[in-house]
Structure formats: structure tokens, C-alpha cells
Structure 1
Amino acid sequence: MPTRARDRLVETAGELFYSEGVRAVGIERLLAVSGVGRASFYRHFASKDDLVVATLRDYGERWCRRLEQQVAVRGGGPLAVFDALADSFEQPAFRGCASINAMVEAADRDSAAHRVAAEHKRAVTDYIDGLLERAGYEQHGELAEQFMILVDGAIITAVRERGGESARRAKAVASVLLG
């Protein structure tokens, strides 16, 4: 069972890594902001890399739950994914996708952080695949992969442009894919 110190470390690291980058945030800063002592840190995590992995897992789970909720509120159709993204892109604290950001920083595809980030992307693709299958699209697997290119492209574009317009443009492309 996770302890409160572990939860504080994961929560603090998630916020700092997302806003500033994994490499930019050192252990000393994490300890100071979280209020967790060094011994407690090492009781829960063997290294900063282990904390990065835990943070990415936590992010992925929360992100997927939020996406599922937002899509359900919008009727549960596959195109609702882009409406949910547009809303999140318009939030002042939006800085892209923590998984994409981590993959860029941990360019080694064999690193644990890169693998966990890629697992998150696979989970999102599988979720979209399920939406497309339930909506009756025969080529749902291929469409889901195409949707993910649009999702990731919209995320990166939103970082550059700020706002939800990239998700709305991606939705227009996705609607063409659906016929």
C-alpha cells in the first residue's frame, strides 16, 4: 500500500517534471518541494529514474481516465476524442503530453521511462480502437493507429500554437478518414 510520502513524491514529481522537464528537476528540488526526506525517498524509489517511471504510470492512468470521462460526456463517439483534447489544450497549464515529453528526454528506446511512455500511447490507441470498433468501423485497428498520429500531432501543434485549434483541425481530418 502506498504511503503518503510516496504519494507526495509522485504528485510533486509529476507536476515539476511536466512543467519543467525531467532533466531540469533534481532530487534536492523534489525533496524540498514535496517535504519528503532523503531517507524516505530512497525507501520508496531506488533512483530518480524509478520515480520518473512511477510518475509516468500515474500520469498515464489519470490521463486515460480523464479522456474516457470526457469522451463519455460528449456521447462516446470516436471523434469526441478530439473535442476532449481541444478542451485540455486550452488549459493554461497545458505543456503537451508528459509521455511524449519523456520520450523526447529519454531518447533511449530501451530506457524504462521510454517504455512506460510508449505503453501509455499503446493504451490510448487501444482505447480509440475500442471506440471505433463499437461505432462499427471494420478497419478499426488501422483507423486507431491513424487517429493516434492525429492525436500526437495535435498535441505537439498545441504546444507550439497554444489553444485547441489543432485538435479541431485533427478532428476534421479524422472525420474524413471515417468517411
Structure 2
Amino acid sequence: MATQSPVRGRILDTAAFLFYSEGIRAVSADRIIADAHTTKVTFYRHFRTKEDLVVAYLQDQSARVRAAAGQLSADPCTGLLQLAEAMGAEACVPGFRGCPFINAAAEYPDAGSPVRGVVRDHRQWLHTEVSGRIAQLGAARPGDVADQLLMLRDGAMVHGYVADPAGVSASLISAGRAILAAAAP
């Protein structure tokens, strides 16, 4: 893998902060260029369009999540618990604005857009990760149980943003355990 240039990294870091804190469509390419202390020529050398930058931002977010998931326990139950704890803790951090993938999907309604493609790929990876662990626990329909847990996770992400995040982690874990108990062999 080629090393990312410092300028490209600075543009991407600036965009990630602004996209997450203010919304993707609310932030112009000119704003990113100014805040990243670069020029339009340099910006467009690295990203042909703002949409290319959004795709790179989401791919970077997905890579970070995947790297964190690689640190989870191999034990399926412990790994799922660690995942829920991490998601619940994330929802309690100052500046939390929900899931960047859900946010991006809301801002890009065209299912055929490259942005939605990255969202879809990330969601499929997450579903595979969760359903694989559920299958290891012996649940009869791991894909269906994963759907339920991911809907619960999505609700927790939204709740953590629009409501008081206190208790999100404990509620997410409690509800997730109930779903897993109902699916137990």
C-alpha cells in the first residue's frame, strides 16, 4: 500500500472533522480547502470531486472501525459484548453526532451513488462480523439475529445523538442480551 501524502492526509482529516461535526452537504469544498490550508489545485489533484472526498472519508472511517474490531476478543460472546460497550461509550463522547455511515446515507439518498456504495459495503462487513459471532454461539438464524442487533445498534446511535446519552451503553447491552437469549439454541 502506498503511503498517503501529508497534504492528502491533512485534507482528509479536515474533511472528516467538518463532515462529522457539521454535516457533509453543509461543508463546501472551499471551506475544506481553507481549513486544510491548501489550494484548489492541490485539493483537486488529490480528490477530483467533493464526492470523491466523501468516499475517501467513509472508507477511512470504515478502516478505523475494522481495525478496532480486529482487537476484539475471539470469543464470540465476549467480542459482541466488547463491541456493544464500545458503541455505547462512543455515544457518550462530547461532540457525538451519530453514526457517520447513517449520516452519510441520509445525506445521499441515491442508492446508486458511490457514497451509498461505501455505506453499503461497510454495513455488509459489519453484518458479516456480527452474524459470524452469533453463528459461533449456535443461534439458529444468525443473519436474522444480526439484523436485530444492528437495528438496536442503529437506534442506540441515534438515541445517543438526539437524547441524553447517559445509559445508552447499559441499555444497548441489556437489550442485546435479551435478543441473544431469545435466539439461543
Please, what TM-score do these two structures have when normalized by structure 1? 0.90
Structure 1 residues 30 and 63, CA gap change in structure 2 (3 angstroms)? same
Greater CA drift, 165-174 or 120-129: 165-174
Q: 2 CA distance for matches of 1:170 and 1:65?
A: 22
Q: Deviations over 1:99-144 (max 9, x none)?
A: 1000001111111111211221111111112222233334222211
* Matching residue of 1:170: 172
Mind listing any 5+ residue stretches in structure 1 that lack a counterpart?
none
* Matching residue of 2:73: 72
Please, what TM-score do these two structures have when normalized by structure 2? 0.87
The aligned amino acid for 1:116 is V
The aligned amino acid for 1:12 is T
* Matching residue of 2:41: 39
Q: Please tell me whether the aligned partners of residues 82 and 168 of structure 1 are also in contact (alpha carbons under 8 angstroms).
A: no
Q: 2 CA distance for matches of 1:158 and 1:67?
A: 21
Is 1:158 the counterpart of 2:160 in the alignment? yes
Q: 2 CA distance for matches of 1:165 and 1:110?
A: 37
Q: 2 CA distance for matches of 1:29 and 1:106?
A: 20
The aligned amino acid for 2:102 is I
Q: Please tell me whether the aligned partners of residues 88 and 172 of structure 2 are also in contact (alpha carbons under 8 angstroms).
A: no
Deviation at 1:73, TM superposition (A): 10
How does 1:115-154 map onto structure 2 within 5 Å?
115-154=117-156
How does 1:1-20 map onto structure 2 within 5 Å?
1=2, 2-20=4-22
* Matching residue of 1:97: 99
Q: 2 CA distance for matches of 1:11 and 1:73?
A: 31
Deviation at 1:19, TM superposition (A): 0.4
Deviation at 1:153, TM superposition (A): 0.9
Q: Please tell me whether the aligned partners of residues 159 and 165 of structure 2 are also in contact (alpha carbons under 8 angstroms).
A: no
Q: 2 CA distance for matches of 1:88 and 1:55?
A: 18
Q: Please tell me whether the aligned partners of residues 156 and 168 of structure 2 are also in contact (alpha carbons under 8 angstroms).
A: yes
Mind listing any 5+ residue stretches in structure 2 that lack a counterpart?
none
The aligned amino acid for 1:30 is I
State the number of aligned residues.
178
Q: 2 CA distance for matches of 1:87 and 1:39?
A: 40
Q: 1 CA distance for matches of 2:110 and 2:103?
A: 13
